[in-house]
Amino acid sequence: MIENRMEGINEKSPWQDMTVGGVVLAGGNSVEFLTGDWRTQTPVWHPEKCKQCLMCFPYCPDSSIPVQDRKRLDFDLDHCKGCGICAAVCPFDAIEIR
């Protein structure tokens, strides 16, 4: 048994009932949360330079590059964290990080 005494509360729980730490028990839910305000840098898409190669799309860790009818659209800044990976992989310099 593990005893935990905080502010007069005496909790006794068998260690088998305790939650394991550092384990992801469910799928991500970032669609439900607007995490884009964490961003310190912002990607800017230049559609006139873009050749629609879609190299940026699979590299985006936040799925912030929407694609419709095999063409990329402007960034989903509600979820983009500004990591800059998309700009690094764009062979046409169509993405700039500001």
On the CB side of 95, CA atoms within 13 Å amount to 27
In-domain check, residue 3: no
Give the number of domains in the chain.
Answer: 1
Structure-token pair, residue 21:
């730490």
Phi, psi of 89 (to 5 degrees): -95, -10
- Side chain identity at residue 76, one-letter code: D
In-domain check, residue 40: yes
In-domain check, residue 56: yes
CA pair distance 27, 30, nearest whole angstrom: 10
Structure-token pair, residue 25:
């028990």
Q: Could you read off the pLDDT of 5-38 as tens digits, one per residue? A: 555 555 677 878 777 777 766 766 666 778 888 8
In-domain check, residue 88: yes
In-domain check, residue 9: no
In-domain check, residue 20: no
CATH value at residue 92? 3.30.70.20
Q: What does the pLDDT read at residue 37?
A: 86
Do residues 98 and 42 make contact, with C-beta atoms less than 8 angstroms apart?
yes
Q: What domain range is 89 assigned to?
A: 26-97
Contacts of residue 17, Cβ cutoff 8 Å, sequence gap at least 6: none
Q: Could you read off the pLDDT of 46-84 as tens digits, one per residue? A: 999 999 999 999 999 989 999 999 999 999 999 999 999
In-domain check, residue 41: yes
